[in-house]
A and B are shown apart, each in its own frame.
Chain A
Amino acid sequence: GQQVMQIPQYQHVQEGEDFTTYCNSSTTLSNIQWYKQRPGGHPVFLIQLVKSGEVKKQKRLTFQFGEAKKNSSLHITATQTTDVGTYFCAGPGSNDYKLSFGAGTTVTVRA
């Protein structure tokens, strides 16, 4: 079945620096979604990408969907302490409603 892999598993960032986390699928995805989970919290929807090569921005966050629709990235510029948490990508599984989550990238920020 479809699997979504994320790298890196952990990202320790100096406040103010940029970083990128990557999501790769073994199969072509109809869409990909990104979620953020704060420590002790629940996944909160950030964005959905549908089109090949699509790029969307949310303030300091830039999301990209690969041309082949098998990979995606999240780039955060000028990292802040509020960016702490785990970022998950999720693609539809065997059916569009069944989200298949990656293991997440856990981000910590040093001031």
Chain B
Amino acid sequence: GAGVSQTPSNKVTEKGKYVELRCDPISGHTALYWYRQSLGQGPEFLIYFQGTGAADDSGLPNDRFFAVRPEGSVSTLKIQRTERGDSAVYLCASSLEGGGLQETQYFGPGTRLLVL
């Protein structure tokens, strides 16, 4: 596609529920990243995929968060037993190859998650 797309654009859920956030990267990009942005802050790294595998998941805050990219394209970020503190904008980005010094990351519009 022309750019990174994310669905849904907004998600409201209740505390304790399970949510899935989807990211469709730029076609041909092998690297995919998830970030979380809280109000008034810069994006914070969560996880990086190189192809189908999670090359670095060190930014995931706890084991309630999990992400997959089974076919090396679309990725899903899954949050179990949501908490109010999970409320944020979840951004997905992709880059051509990943891991290089001069890779540009292209961001999607984000999913705004609100946990009531």
What's the nearest-Cβ distance from chain B to residue A44, in Å? 7
A97 to B43, CA, bound (A): 14
A33 to B93, CA, bound (A): 14
Tell whether A88 is near chain B: CB-to-CB under 8 Å.
yes
Evaluate contact between A99 and B45: CB separation under 8 angstroms: yes
Tell whether A66 is near chain B: CB-to-CB under 8 Å.
no
Chain A interface extent, by class: 20 to 34
Contact status of A100 and B91, CB under 8 A, knowing A42-B107, A42-B110, A48-B102? no
A43 interface neighbour in B43, B56, B103, Cβ under 8 Å: B43
A80 to B96, CA, bound (A): 33
Q: What is the number of contacts between chain A and chain B, taking CB atoms within 8 Å? A: 63
Q: Which of B34-53 contact A (CB under 8 A)?
A: 35, 40-45, 48
In this complex, how many residues of chain B approach chain A with their Cβ under 8 Å: the count is 28
Q: Mark A40-70, 1 if CB is under 8 A from B, else 0.
A: 0111110010100000000000000000000
The residue of chain A having its C-beta at the shortest distance from the C-beta of B104 within the complex is A45
Q: Which residues of B contact A98 (CB under 8 A)?
A: 45, 48, 56, 59
Give B residues with C-beta under 8 Å from A. 31, 33, 35, 40-45, 48, 55-56, 59, 91, 95, 98-110
List the 10 closest A-B pairs by CB distance, nearest first. A101-B42, A42-B107, A43-B107, A98-B45, A88-B42, A42-B109, A101-B43, A97-B99, A42-B110, A45-B104
